[in-house]
Amino acid sequence: MSEDDYREQHKQRLAYMPWLYGRLKPRHRAWVEPWQQEIQHRLMALETVHCGQDCFVAPQAVLLAEPGRDIFLGDGCQIAADCVIHGPVRLGQRVSINHHVSMEGGAAGIEIGDDTRIAAYCTLFAFNHGMEADRLVREQPVSSRGIRIGCDVWMGARAGIVDGVTLGDHAVVGMGAVVTRDVPPWTIVAGNPARPIGRRPGAPSC
């Protein structure tokens, strides 16, 4: 295998497993960092995307941000392949977004706190269509209250968050859950619609 072949394969591995970016050996960082800088600089030139230090953005990720619908990535954020993110979206530091996650910021936006982990195929939509009987759904007015996710939150694969929801710090959302109501800090929720099923081990008492 040639060095070029190895690098192309390793780029794909990083794109779908972006947490490996923080574990790279110095000899790999020597070529990965310039590759990432090129991707991020091009993205920031084309869209109103703002990348902090030491971020990773997979080349297969789609970030769309018009003026007024900016996307902010805090230091150390990681965006995996096949994510589709439409601003306004603001990520804190060291937020990890796994592959095939969809985020739509609507008008009110999505905010995600530091050190939060969002697993593959999660969906966050910060808008909603009206449903009145006097017109087609596509002609209904759209509302947006926004989505707020705290720090150190873990969303399991294929979980969904609807507009208007707040997830408190340290909350956990089970795989496949659909969250339609606010989740208090340290609370574990699961199901459709999601309901509390416990608290994180060692969580402080209420």
Would you list the DSSP string of 36-93?
Answer: HHHHHHHHHHHSSEEE-TT-EE-TT-EEE--TTS-EEE-TT-EE-TT-EEESSEEE-T
145 token code pair: 């209250």
User: Would you kindly state where each structural domain of the chain is located, as residue ranges?
Assistant: 3-199
- Lowest model confidence (mean pLDDT) among 13-27, 45-59, 66-80, 173-187: 13-27
In CATH, the number for domain 3-199 is 2.160.10.10
Stretch 119-139: mean pLDDT, rounded?
93
Q: What is the pTM of this model?
A: 0.93
> What's the rounded Cα separation, in Å, for the pair 32 and 22?
11
pLDDT band at residue 74 using 50, 70 and 90 as cut-offs:
very high
Q: Does the pLDDT at position 206 exceed 80?
A: no
Q: Does the pLDDT at position 173 exceed 90?
A: yes
Q: Does the pLDDT at position 2 exceed 80?
A: no
Q: Do 120 and 100 touch, CB atoms closer than 8 A? A: yes
- Say which DSSP state 150 is in: -
pLDDT band at residue 1 using 50, 70 and 90 as cut-offs:
low
Q: Which residue would you say has higher pLDDT here, 100 or 29?
A: 100
Stretch 172-186: mean pLDDT, rounded?
98
Alpha helices in the chain, H assignment, sequence order:
3-16, 26-46
Stretch 25-48: mean pLDDT, rounded?
93
Would you tell me how many other CB atoms lie within 10 Å of the CB of residue 185?
Answer: 18
